[in-house]
Chains A and B, each alone.
Chain A
Amino acid sequence: MEDGFRLGDRTFASRLLLGTGKFASIGAMLGAVRASGAELVTVALRRFNRERPDDDLCAPLAALGGVTLVPNTSGAMNAREAVRAALLGREVTGSPFVKLEIHPNPHHLLPDPIETYEAAGLLVKEGFFVLPYMPADPVLARRLEDIGCAAVMPLGSAIGSGQGLATLAMLQVIVRDAGVPVIVDAGLRSPSEAAAAMEMGCDAVLINSAIAAAENPALMAGAFAQAIVAGRQARRAGLMPRSDTAVPTSPAAALTAFLAGAGD
């Protein structure tokens, strides 16, 4: 596969990860997954409800073929709960991946760096490919990489906020220094933002709200998929820098005059 997306011990063709929340119906969600070409799909966990057995998600997703489920620990308030959620998620999906998501504040849903770091260490030891959702902090990103996370997932902006790549400057540093894939997660509103994330060097993007809340989720999912491919291709093609005018040279007292008539 050319330019495959390596994550954990697998290689994927698609660099669009899809969240399954906030859709109007399971049917709408499945339509979006299909249209997006996503191969990594995040799911949450719930108690089985005997009264509503047909709300099953796993079977229809498995039926699509080519989809790897990634349970997420959303709802966990601390490392201990997140570890328990991850263990449950592994049993439910059979997947070695886990999206580690710990956001104690229900308003802004921003990730807790300390609980996340602690949980990541425990889950790596349990053999998971840990994908930690984290603040866009370059030092935290390297710390999580050092303890064995399979990727880092810095936020673009708060979940559902649609603020786009508000953390761009930090993302640039994270991307530059990362030895594991960087998957931007949260806050992207439009396909052009997803393309921008790929152009600046991110390895993949996770989208949920922007697709689920669209008028036509399947159509939006397709748009995101194309944008991510375009952004990645632009990156590989070697983008031209923004301006082609160099910094103006210094006035009369030339900086390099001391080299004139130099001996050796």
Chain B
Amino acid sequence: MPPLPEWLDVAPWLALARRADRAMVRQALAAPSPGIREFAILLSSAAAGELEALAARAQALTRRHFGRTIGLYAPLYLSNYCPTRCVYCGFASDRKIQRHKLTPAELAAEAAALKQLGLEEVLLLTGDRLGTAGYEFLRDGVERLAAQFHSVSAEAFAMSESEYAGLAAAGCTAVTLYQETYDPARYALLHTSGPKADYSGRLDAPARALGGGMRSAGLGVLLGLSEPLTDVLRLFAHAAWLRRRFWAGGVAIAFPRVRPQSGDYAAGFPVGESLLAQIVFAFRIAMPETPLVLSTRESPRFRDGMAGVGISKMSVASRTTVGGYASGAAPSSAQFEIEDHRGVEEFGAMLRAKGLQPVFKNWDAVYRAAHA
């Protein structure tokens, strides 16, 4: 493996997170230009004892940078074929599940169904790189959808910079790629074969995406795979490093958590809701302008509580089967189980009741060449 980048060394911050006291937490909350130091302090158990204060600061900052709005998007799985064994994933290559890949006609039906729901931002997903459902297939999907939706982003396998440039030219504006865990040893245990087993290649992919012209890179760790404070500190360092290196690019952070799925993987380091909330608040406070994303993996109660309190963007009405929005879609197995099944109307009503406005698009895509 090539040498690990310097920014992965978070040992001093981890030590700080472990010994911070209430006085330090209060100072961190008031810091005018918070950085990784304040972030570490806000992850401490002393900070856990001040969760309401963290929530209040997170809400104030979310309002300042995002207004009283929540960005909404839907995931659309193009394929669940996968050559890789990720121990925790419902699509792992050694699981006997129903596999499917969307045909162009099916994709058109799915797009129509999503448009009907009022959605304008779509996240396209595939399994790991495979001949039949590889780069060309993904780029074709991007191109078709970019003509109809204001924002198309992709969550797929790690690609080269020129491949990312090709996706961007096809109309993809952002790429999401979770490192899953930044711990190389744990990573090796969890990804035993296939292209994704390349830890360094994956680590460098968001930089290649931004270098290839993506406007934004979505980062995250799968909470539960490894010791959470270390992983989350490294995630912060990764985001900070990317922002410095690509001044014109953005980063967004998501918070996937190991959830029940088809299979029996149980999280080695389970992260409870309170810690998850604390992590979100800490990110909001220490990186106030960064979009923070919560998916439908989490319960309605949790999502309702977090909307606008740190979280600025959420998926809605999700399906993690291949397609599945259009009726009559071919059956396939889901990547993970969804807990919040509310549709766009119902979810929107909840947000409004909380004084939040659901937002379906940020910029009008007509300025971009790829949009029809």
Contact = CB atoms under 8 A, between A and B. Distances in A.
A176 B247 CA distance: 11
Residue among A179, A238, A247, A259 with the highest chain B CB neighbour number at 10 A: A259
A264 B270 contact: yes
Contacts of B52: 249-250, 254-256
Interface string B42-85: 00000000111101110110000000000000000000000000
A259 B277 CA distance: 8
Given A179-B244, A254-B52, A247 B31 contact: no
Nearest to B34: A241
A142 B277 CA distance: 34
A177 B247 contact: yes
A200 to B, nearest CB: 8
Interface residues of A, number: 28
A258 B301 contact: yes
B272 A264 contact: yes
Nearest to A143: B247
Interface residues of B, number: 33
Nearest to A173: B33
A249 B33 contact: no
B3 interface: no
Given A179-B244, A241-B27, A262 B302 contact: yes
Contacts of A240: 27
Contacts of A258: 301-302, 304-305
Contacts of A242: 30, 32
Contacts of B26: 244-246
Contacts of B60: 247
Interface in A140-191: 142, 146, 172, 176-177, 179
Residue among B23, B56, B60, B304 with the highest chain A CB neighbour number at 10 A: B56
Contacts of A262: 272-274, 301-302
B309 interface: yes
Interface string B248-288: 10000000000000000000001011100100000000000
Contact of B59 (A172, A238, A255, A257): A255
Contacts of A257: 305
B29 interface: yes
B368 interface: no
Nearest to A260: B274
A248 interface: yes
A243 interface: yes
A243 B28 CA distance: 10
Contacts of A142: 247-248
Contacts of B273: 259, 262-264
A88 B15 CA distance: 54
Nearest to B246: A142
A142 B248 CA distance: 9
B164 to A, nearest CB: 19
Nearest to B272: A264
Interface string B1-37: 0000000000000000000000100110111110001
Nearest to A248: B56
Nearest to B247: A142
A256 B57 contact: no
Given A179-B244, A264-B272, A246 B53 contact: yes
Contacts of B53: 246-247, 249
B305 A177 contact: no
A148 to B, nearest CB: 15
Contacts of A146: 247
A248 B56 CA distance: 8
B27 A250 contact: no
A24 B52 CA distance: 62
A60 B134 CA distance: 69
B119 to A, nearest CB: 26
Interface string A99-143: 000000000000000000000000000000000000000010010
B51 A256 contact: yes
Contacts of A263: 273
Contacts of B247: 139, 142, 146, 177
A160 B40 CA distance: 42
Interface in A28-67: none
B30 A179 contact: no
Contacts of B248: 142
Contact of A256 (B27, B31, B305): B305
Given A172-B33, A259-B51, A249 B244 contact: no
Interface of B: 23, 26-27, 29-33, 37, 50-53, 55-57, 59-60, 243-245, 247-248, 270, 272-274, 277, 301-302, 304-305, 309
26 contacts: A176-B33, A177-B243, A177-B244, A179-B244, A241-B27, A241-B31, A242-B30, A244-B23, A244-B30, A246-B29, A246-B30, A246-B50, A246-B57, A247-B29, A247-B30, A248-B56, A250-B52, A250-B55, A255-B56, A255-B305, A256-B52, A256-B55, A257-B305, A258-B305, A263-B273, A264-B270
